[in-house]
Amino acid sequence: MEREKLIEARQWIREELDRCADFWLRNGLDREHGGVYTCLDREGKIFSTDKSVWMQGRCGWTFAWLCHLYGPRPEWLEASKSCLDFMEKYCINPKAAGRMYFTVTAEGKPLRQRRYYFSEAFYAMANAEYYGVTGDKACLERARRAYELYWDLSRGMPDPTGLGPKTEPETRTGRAFGTPMIYLNVTAVLRRCDPERAALYDRRAEQCVEEIFRYHVKPELKCVLENVGPEGEARLYYTEGRTVNPGHDIEGVWFLLDYAKRTGRTELVEKAAQIFDWAIEAGWDKEYGGLLYFIDALGRPPEAYEHDMKLWWPHNEIVISSLMLYRDTGEEKYLDWFFRTLDYCKAHFSDPAYGEWYGYLRRDGKPTEPPCKGSTFKGPFHLPRMLGMADGLIGEILDEK
């Protein structure tokens, strides 16, 4: 283990976290209407005032979680509460049994409703984390309600919005990897913040883990399939059925490792390590470096135009998972992947001049033009989460070794 190199990396990570948090507090918070703007250019200037509901929840969670990690700070609590209050006032559809919108205007007028229930997932996380820091019982009840709604919707509850499935169910239906994977992470947050219901969260987490391996992990293909049939059958005759998202797989790795550590299920470490190895081998760009966004399970052309781009968040997940795998296995190859990925991120994603990371790179590692730091899908979440977790994981490793 290169102890001095790890110490240097930790110092850079801490400085980068300060720059990241400051970027969003200075540029993203809406002091007039509440909540956060996330469509920001390189310098932090707003290029769209529409607000992502996912990002309201994610930002609300992030700043409450930073208080959990480092102790409450007034500016962090204020940012979190602003997002929570904005969601409560504007982002819940009163005509759809608590379902949440996907986007709203700056003032909070509804713009778009989607089938996906990830607005509810991030709302639940944010409220639970804020409760954990402040003891606000109203937030706990909101978190519990949204958590149950996510569960019911994922188990086949008719969508109160009236939106039907994406495809005709008589023709094609199936399962998406993101459903149990993200629910596993949401469950971990609620279990930590709401220990009174630990038994419920433990049952749900176990079920999510079982579904991931039963339906989506495909050793014969050396990958995790994003979309499978109802019984987990691989459907390789069309492009969506062959879709592999290496960054998603690697994010799922650390969700599994977190669960394994919490429950003592050490047999999951080897299984999670295998998923990481498949994803990094198939997804790492051997010519330019960095992780490709999508690949095809059979090596055929992916359908998504952005398949060979490099996005910020998969690299965040490599950093977390590689550190966890090194901590849990002691294998040096995972520490090598940590340093290799961190070096790539320093060279291509990080922007010391203005703070935060570029969200979207071309395959050759240059930012898309004009470059941006946030969008409907990028806000203060993956990067600060990675930086805070990496800080703690390096501390664990240095203490243990």
Query: For residue 357, what are the β-bridge partners?
Result: 350
Q: What is the pLDDT of residues 241-299, one digit of tens each?
A: 999 999 999 999 999 999 999 999 999 999 999 999 999 999 999 999 999 999 999 99
120 and 265, same domain (yes or no): no
Q: Give the CATH number of the domain where residue 365 resides.
A: 1.50.10.10
What token pair was written down for 249? 């797989």
* 78-82 contact pairs (CB < 8 A, 24+): 79/24, 79/25, 79/29, 79/36, 80/126, 80/129, 80/130, 81/130, 82/29, 82/30, 82/34, 82/35, 82/36
In this model, does residue 1 exceed pLDDT 80?
no
Residues 6+ positions from 313 with CB-CB distance below 8 Å: 247, 251, 378, 382, 383
pLDDT at 167 over 90: no
Say yes or no: 25 and 38 in one domain. no
Please tell me whether residues 358 and 327 are part of one structural domain. Answer: yes
Query: Per-residue confidence at 401, pLDDT binned at 50, 70, 90?
Result: low
Specify whether 134 is located in the same domain as 269: no
CATH of the domain at 106: 1.50.10.20
Same domain, 21 and 145: no
At residue 166, the pLDDT reads: 85
Q: What is the mean pLDDT of the chain?
A: 97
Q: Are residues 254 and 126 in the same domain?
A: no
Average pLDDT score over residue span 50-75:
98
pLDDT digits (tens, 9 = 90+) for 22-43: 999 999 999 999 999 999 999 9
Average pLDDT over residues 361-384: 98
Indicate the pLDDT class of residue 170, thresholds 50, 70 and 90. Answer: confident
CB 384 within 8 A of CB 60: no
Residue 138 has pLDDT above 80, yes or no: yes
Would residue 177 count as lying in a domain? no
Res. 314: pLDDT tops 80: yes
Phi and psi for 347 in degrees, rounded to 5?
A: -75, -30
- Residue 65 included in any domain: yes
Closest CA relative to residue 5, chosen from 394, 396, 399: 394
Q: Do 25 and 51 belong to one domain?
A: no
Q: Read off the pLDDT of each residue in 177-198 and give the average, rounded to a whole number.
A: 98
Give the separation between CA 30 and CA 62, rounded to whole angstroms.
Answer: 16
Position 400 scores a pLDDT of: 77
pLDDT for 176 beyond 80:
yes
225 and 365 fall within a common domain? yes
Domain shared by 350 and 360, yes or no: yes
Domain coverage including residue 370: 1-32+217-401
Q: Half-sphere exposure of 155 toward its Cβ, with a 13 Å CA cutoff?
A: 10
Closest-CA residue to 24 (of 35, 36, 8, 6): 36
Look up the pTM and report it.
Answer: 0.98
Confidence of residue 75 (pLDDT cuts 50, 70, 90): very high
Tens of pLDDT along 196-243? 999 999 999 999 999 999 999 999 999 999 999 999 999 999 999 999
Q: Distance of alpha carbon 268 from its chain centroid, rounded?
A: 21
Same domain, yes or no, for 95 and 117?
yes
Mean pLDDT of 335-358: 98
Q: Are residues 228 and 364 in the same domain?
A: yes
Domain count, the chain: 2
